[in-house]
């Protein structure tokens, strides 16, 4: 293949963190064994459009990855940011959407692509999605139109705040929730549906604080509000994953209403979200949602994914606990994470 004289071969940093893509079979089940150098040996042809360096800050099943590791990855990208044109992170699928969302908040306004990928089968198997996903990720990270944090998986590029793992075994494991795919990848070609790199006007910004004292509470029919009383001493914020468009039940010996008052009076954050994957919350629709939202000025996640809601809450509280500042941070759209409904409170 003859390259044009003005062709710029991209320099990519491959960051291996473990996951299924790097796993081998053991007597105790799949566990990450392969190093970053091993992964690169299974993909061919990328040398035409990029050169790749490798590093491995840790090698874990993604079940064991949490805020500490998100901060470590963001710091690694920050220290190497000027040295590379893009970054590809190999990661387990189970918490990949959380990591992608967290990095969207920890690394903002990046004109360089930060791609997260992995696989449903190990890369060293004869039949696997790993080689295609890694090849697609290197190609996407080398494209001039790519920027910011995206998951590349199953032939799609998905904004880091919009991805959700919806299938536990199939190769098309991830979907983009309440937002279009950024791009499609097939046979070495990339079709961008969202080409907005030129809109990134602010300089890249790295953040170094997350507040991990966040509780996610999933409502089940019959749950008593006393559960919030027991958890009160341990958390600075609670996300209540409610039914439908959002609301709180009125039954129980300890009403949710009185416990919400206790949390908000103490200056703690109560965030309402929905258990429904698509279309988001709207607490104004029913009495069970409207009254409690208006009485306590509750926040809600609207069309955000649960993964984005959790990690953005960690990030925003990590920057400020002051109410007005926190609300401003949380409702600022970052990497396409929230499309506010009319009348949403942004102050």
User: What pairing do the DSSP bridges indicate for beta strands 269-274 and 237-242?
Assistant: parallel
Answer whether 11's CB lies under 8 Å from 84's CB: yes
- Give the neighbor-by-neighbor strand order of the sheet with 269-274: 214-218, 237-242, 269-274, 299-300
- For residue 248, the model assigns a pLDDT of 92
- For residue 195, the model assigns a pLDDT of 96
Report CA-CA distances (Å) from 229 to 212, 256, 272, 337. Answer: 19, 10, 17, 31
Fold of the domain spanning 10-206: Rossmann fold (3.40.50)
Answer whether 116's CB lies under 8 Å from 151's CB: yes
Half-sphere exposure of 223 (CA within 13 A, CB side): 18
- For residue 82, the model assigns a pLDDT of 98
Tell me which residue of 242, 244, 207, 202 sits closest to 225, measured CA to CA.
242
Report CA-CA distances (Å) from 111 to 130, 149, 335. Answer: 26, 10, 12
- For residue 286, the model assigns a pLDDT of 86
CB within 8 Å of 239: residues ≥ 6 apart: 214, 215, 216, 217, 271, 272, 273, 301, 306, 309, 310, 313
What is the DSSP code (8-state) at residue 18?
A: B
Answer whether 269's CB lies under 8 Å from 299's CB: yes
Consecutive H or E run containing 73: helix 67-80
Q: Which two tokens stand for residue 33?
A: 């064994």
Dist. CA 157–CA 20, nearest whole Å: 19
214-330 maps to CATH 3.90.1530.10: no
Q: Which two tokens stand for residue 207?
A: 């953040």
- For residue 98, the model assigns a pLDDT of 98
DSSP code per residue over 138-166:
HHHHTSTT--EEEEEETTEEEETTTEEE-
Farthest-apart Cα atoms in the chain, separation: 75
Q: Where are the domains of the chain?
A: 10-206, 214-330
Q: What is the CA radius of gyration of the chain?
A: 21
Dist. CA 3–CA 12, nearest whole Å: 19
> What is the per-residue burial (b if ≥16 Cβ within 10 Å, else e) of 251-279?
eeeebbbebbeebbeeebbbbbbbeeeee
Dist. CA 154–CA 114, nearest whole Å: 17
- For residue 255, the model assigns a pLDDT of 86
Predicted confidence pLDDT, tens digits, the chain (347 residues) = 444 444 579 999 999 999 999 999 888 888 998 999 999 999 999 999 999 999 999 999 999 999 999 999 999 999 999 999 999 999 999 999 999 999 999 999 999 999 999 999 999 999 999 999 999 999 999 999 999 999 999 999 999 999 999 999 999 999 999 999 999 999 999 999 999 999 999 999 999 999 999 999 999 999 999 999 999 999 999 999 999 999 999 887 888 999 999 999 999 999 999 999 999 999 999 888 999 999 999 999 999 999 999 999 999 999 999 999 999 999 999 999 998 754 454 44
**Positions marked active-site:** 20
Burial class (CB within 10 angstroms; exposed 0-12, middle 13-18, buried 19+) of 1: exposed
Instruction: Look at the alpha carbons of 200, 108, 206, 116 in this order and tell me if their dihedral is positive or negative.
Output: negative
User: What pairing do the DSSP bridges indicate for beta strands 50-55 and 10-16?
Assistant: parallel
Q: Which two tokens stand for residue 248?
A: 């709180």
Domains 10-206 and 214-330 alike in fold: yes
Tell me which residue of 233, 102, 90, 252 sits closest to 163, measured CA to CA.
102
């Amino acid at each position: 293949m003859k390259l044009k004289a003005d062709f710029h071969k991209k320099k990519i940093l491959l960051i291996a963190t473990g996951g299924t893509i790097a796993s081998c079979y053991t007597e105790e089940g799949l566990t990450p064994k392969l190093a970053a150098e091993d992964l690169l040996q299974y993909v061919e042809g990328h040398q035409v459009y990029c050169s790749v360096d490798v590093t491995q800050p840790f090698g874990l099943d993604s079940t064991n990855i949490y805020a500490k590791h998100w901060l470590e990855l963001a710091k690694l990208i920050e220290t190497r940011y000027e040295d590379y044109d893009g970054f590809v992170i190999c990661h387990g699928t189970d918490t990949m959407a959380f990591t992608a969302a967290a990095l969207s908040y920890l690394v903002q306004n990046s004109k360089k692509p930060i791609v997260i990928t992995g696989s449903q089968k190990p890369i060293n198997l004869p039949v696997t999605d790993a080689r295609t996903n890694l090849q697609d990720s290197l190609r996407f990270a080398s494209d001039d139109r790519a920027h910011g944090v995206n998951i590349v998986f199953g032939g799609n590029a998905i904004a880091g705040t919009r991805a959700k793992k919806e299938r536990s075994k199939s190769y098309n494991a991830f979907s983009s929730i309440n937002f279009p795919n950024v791009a499609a990848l097939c046979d070495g070609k990339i079709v961008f549906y969202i080409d907005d790199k030129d809109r990134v006007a602010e300089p890249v910004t790295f953040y170094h604080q997350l507040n991990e004292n966040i509780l996610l509470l999933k409502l089940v029919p019959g749950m008593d509000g006393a559960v919030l009383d027991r958890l009160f001493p341990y958390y600075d914020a609670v996300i209540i994953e409610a039914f439908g468009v959002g609301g709180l039940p009125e039954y129980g010996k300890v009403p949710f209403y009185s416990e919400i008052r206790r949390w908000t009076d103490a200056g703690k954050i109560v965030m309402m979200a929905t258990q429904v994957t698509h279309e988001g919350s709207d607490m104004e629709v029913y009495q069970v949602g409207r009254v409690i939202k208006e009485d306590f000025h509750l926040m809600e996640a609207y069309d955000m994914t649960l993964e984005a809601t959790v990690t953005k809450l960690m990030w925003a509280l990590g920057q400020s606990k002051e109410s007005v500042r926190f609300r401003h941070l949380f409702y600022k759209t970052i990497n396409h994470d929230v499309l506010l409904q009319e009348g949403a409170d942004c102050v």
